[in-house]
Chain A
Amino acid sequence: MGRRLAVLGVSLLAALAIAALSRVPFAEADPVTSVVRLSWRTQGVQIRECRQLTEEELARIPEHMRRTEECVGRVTDYELVVAVDGALALVDTVSPSGARRDRPVYVFRDLSVSPGPHTVEVTFVPLLPPDLDEVDGAEALTWDGTVDLTAGERALITLDAAGAALLRRDAER
């Protein structure tokens, strides 16, 4: 009888330990920070660099595949700068995705701030090569405004539907 009780006790303790470890308090009930979330996707500024193939290079290519001009496309990097309450909070270079860096540019950053009102300025500027003066769609994207956040709230700053301007968006419910 005593042994059976011991078996039951040890088994229950082991099971209780498993149950307790399956629900270890991790994040506190009342978060102490808020977040400014920056998230958008843009096609970026496409740059096409072309050059004429030499006679020797052309001679090495089968006749039916010969094109005199070879072009390589890529997307420019961007500089992302964020200031919160006038202080610089983030400076980062955002590169296009893809192994050849020719895919869209994605931004996904969370900046922790204290709860309460904050002025936020976001600048997203394409880093054009110095030899390029004017390129279509190479305008900087900016947003500045005030966010008043409760503890644990995330303010989402994203692109508008046309992809032309940054804005603060609330969640759809």
Chain B
Amino acid sequence: MGRVIRGAQRGGRSVLARLDAWLNALYGTRYNPLYHSGALVVGCFVILAVTGLYLLLFYRIGAPYESVERITGQVWAGRWIRGLHRYVSDLAIVAAVVHAFRMAVQNRTWGPRALAWVSGLVLLSVLLVCGWTGYVMVWDVQAQLVATEGARLLDVLPIFAEPIARTFVGERPMPSAFFFLNLFAHIAIPVGILLILWIHVSRLARPALMPTRPLFWATTGLFTVLSVAWPISMAPRADLLRVPSDVALDVFYGFWIPLSQAIPPGAVWLTGLAAVAAVLAVPFRTRPPDEARVEPSWVNPRFCTGCEQCYHDCPYEAISMVRRGDGQGDGSELKGDRSEFVALVDPSRCVSCGICAGSCAPMGVGPPGRTGRDQLAAVKEFVERASPKPDDIVLVGCAHSAARSGEALTGAPLLRVSCAGNLHTSVVEYLVRAGAGGVMVVSCPPRDCWNREGVKWLAERLYNERAAELKDRVDRRRLRVTHASEGQAGSLVREVERFRAEVRSLERTLGESSIELNPECDLPAISVAQEGGS
């Protein structure tokens, strides 16, 4: 079973990589809508709130169909705003599903991310319920279909005193109370969505809730144009004593209706529950086995200066600053000699991205095997093995980028890191001083960083003196950062060739030939087992 799921993940990732590459070529990595899928849902939510408030001004619970007919035919821009409201609600579902798919195939659902996965599923469900209440508000034939089929399904549950389906018998007009309750739900559910959204991002530092401004406005503009060019029209009024006819179904919200008409309600529930259980099980089924699981970060209190940089850089708020002195592996024996505060990693929140390792100048934090010190030890071996040449470049590649393809296609030696944000700048300096003509860091596109902020912090550390910054003495002409997703090997090869040509034209300076790293950093790698720690 596990093998099947991993195979499906690989297949999905391959499809996604191709789509990403294609859209990157078209939109650029900054505006690729697939990278903004989660934020697009929130952007849609904002548009829905604004358009919904306008529509609410004209909606009447005593005459739902007539009031929507009036909105569509008489109210200024009512038809277009109604169209925008509907189209954007569909886009929200599409974006949410794409977002979930991306997270699932990128294996970003288990461990500390399971909360976001489960709450995301709840968000999607609530969004669907909100959409159904929205459709019922119109009280046309589609509303009739949604209401009667929904009632038929709900009546299978033994929780209602009276079958809900009897509300839709048709001998009397639908009471206003029904439409009041429906309207109340349609307005109250979005408030609940905000709460669940807060839970959804509660384990993230600086969550990117909105898409980039150009993408948001372009989306709004595009769907506004669409709602003008292809407006929503009125479907026939609901008539409970007639079989619904001439129904145009919104498949994003009514996908279940053909199923519910084809099989008994109990079977629909079983199918739905099986689907929900399968989705809920994703974090458990995709979690690597214990022996293959990467360990969370760890702080060596002997080296921690209490600078708070890792605390600020952690994208998952997994690091806190605690006072030294409780004697539990936090370096209390160093109290007085070292800083008052020391970093502490919460393993239950740490996804082992290693970004903290790149943030720590004294190399005192990071996942076992990937701290700055471990990286220095690895780069020394790499230099001995690969013998970088002054007229050639070295690739330092994020495991999720196109770096591996780049190595195969260009012949440039590759030093792999788990994430671009994990890379300690001393490694770059070491490579240049060891004789590499240039160092090209290959990362994922910034909005597709599997660890959210790795690319951002890498650029800050290399170019904007964010700790642990790359020293001024390193010639920036010998450094290049390039973003290439898994499917962009072609563009990476072109970048490599361009950089190679630039490096070959550079005149090497004498100062860069002698390796003289800070002796304090040039200590052997320290394993967790030797030191223990916080």
Q: Which residues of A approach B to under 8 Å, CB–CB? A: 3, 6-7, 10-12, 15-16, 18-19, 21-31, 33-35, 37, 39, 41, 97, 99, 103-104, 106, 108, 152-154, 156, 158, 169-173
* Beta-carbon contact of B166 and A106 below 8 Å: yes
Q: A15-B226, A21-B251, A27-B245 are in contact. Are A7 and B163 (CB under 8 A)?
A: no
Residue in B94, B161, B162, B241 whose CB lies within 8 Å of A18: B94
Tell me the complex Cα distance, A15–B86, Å.
Answer: 12
Stretch at the interface among B169-177, B205-213, B354-362: B169-177
Interface size on B, as a range, is 35 or more
17 A–B contacts, CB within 8 A, in A order? A7-B26, A15-B223, A18-B94, A22-B86, A22-B251, A24-B248, A24-B251, A25-B249, A26-B145, A26-B247, A27-B145, A27-B247, A35-B243, A39-B169, A41-B162, A97-B161, A172-B173
CA distance A41 to B27 in the complex (A): 61
Residues of A within 8 A of B218 (CB): 11
CA A171 – CA B158 in complex, angstroms?
29
Instruction: Give bound CA distance, A37 to B230, whole Å.
Output: 38
Given contacts A25-B249, A158-B169, 9 further A-B contacts (CB under 8 A): A12-B222, A21-B251, A22-B87, A22-B250, A25-B247, A41-B166, A97-B161, A108-B163, A154-B242
A125 to B471, CA, bound (A): 92
**Contact check: which of A29, A156, A171 meets B246 at CB < 8 Å?**
A29
* Contacts A171-B170, A172-B173; A18 near B91 (Cβ below 8 A): yes
B307 within 8 A of A: no
Among A22, A31, A156, contact of B171 (Cβ-Cβ < 8 Å): A156
In the complex, whether B62 has a CB less than 8 A from a CB of chain A is: no
Known: A19-B226, A156-B169. A28 touches B87 (CB 8 A): no
Chain B residues near A21 (CB, 8 Å)?
90, 250-252
B137-151 interface mask toward A, CB cutoff 8 Å, 1 = contact, 0 = none?
000010001000000
Closest-CB distance, B47 to chain A (whole angstroms): 13
Chain A residues lying within 8 Å of B250, measured Cβ to Cβ, are 21-24
B240–A99 CB distance below 8 A: no
At the interface, yes or no: B257 with Cβ under 8 Å from chain A?
Answer: yes
- Give chain B residues whose Cβ lies under 8 Å from the Cβ of A19: 87, 90, 226, 230
A21–B253 Cα distance when bound, in Å, is: 10
Find the A residue at minimum CB distance from B83. Answer: A19
CB neighbours (8 Å) of B94 from chain A are 18
Q: Is the CB of A27 within 8 A of B244?
A: yes
A171 — nearest CB in chain B belongs to which residue? B241
The closest CB in chain A to the CB of B227 belongs to A19
Question: In the complex the two chains form, is B257's CB within 8 Å of A108's CB?
Answer: no
* Known contacts A26-B257, A27-B245, A39 near B252 by CB under 8 Å: no
Residues of A contacting B247 with CB < 8 Å?
25-27
Nearest CB to that of B148 among chain A residues?
A110
CA distance A173 to B242 in the complex (A): 14
Contact A34 B243 (CB under 8 A): yes
Contacts of B158 in A (CB 8 A): 99
Residues of A within 8 A of B248 (CB): 23-26
- Contact partners of A16 in chain B: CB under 8 A: 226, 230
Other-chain contact of A158, B141, B171, B258 (Cβ < 8 Å): B171
Q: 3 tightest A-B contacts by CB?
A: A26-B249, A23-B248, A27-B247
Pick the contact of A29: B165, B169, B245, B252 (CB < 8 A): B245
Bound-complex Cα distance A8 to B154 (A): 43
Interface residues of B in 155-169 (CB under 8 A from A): 158, 161-163, 165-166, 169
List the A residue with the shortest CB-CB distance to B218.
Answer: A11
User: How close is A23's CB to chain B, nearest CB, in angstroms?
Assistant: 4
Give complex CA distance A6, B28 in Å.
Answer: 12
CB-CB under 8 A for A10 and B171, given A22-B250, A23-B248:
no
- Closest residue of chain A to B223 (Cβ to Cβ) is A15
A168 vs chain B, min Cβ distance (A)? 10
Question: Complex formed: what's the CA distance from A117 to B212 in Å?
Answer: 63
- Among A11, A28, A169, the residue within 8 A (CB) of B245 is A28
Query: B residues 231-275 with Cβ under 8 Å of A?
Result: 239-252, 254, 257-258
Contacting B243 at CB < 8 Å: which of A3, A31, A104, A106? A31
Question: A27 → chain B, closest Cβ, in Å?
Answer: 4
Encode B88-124 as 1/0 by CB contact (under 8 A) with A: 0011001000000000000000000000000000000
Q: Which residues of chain A are near B245, meaning CB under 8 Å?
A: 27-31, 152
Segment 176-200 of B: residues with Cβ below 8 Å from A: none
Q: How far is the CA of A29 from the CA of B245 in the complex (A)?
A: 5
Chain B residues with Cβ under 8 A from A26's Cβ? Answer: 145, 247-249, 254, 257-258
> A172 touching B172 by the CB < 8 A rule?
yes
CB of A171 within 8 A of CB of B222, answer no
Closest to A20 in B: B230
Return chain B residues, CB-CB under 8 Å to A25.
247-249
Give Cα A26–Cα B419 distance, bound, in whole angstroms. Answer: 48
Among residues of B, the one whose C-beta sits closest to the C-beta of A8 is: B222
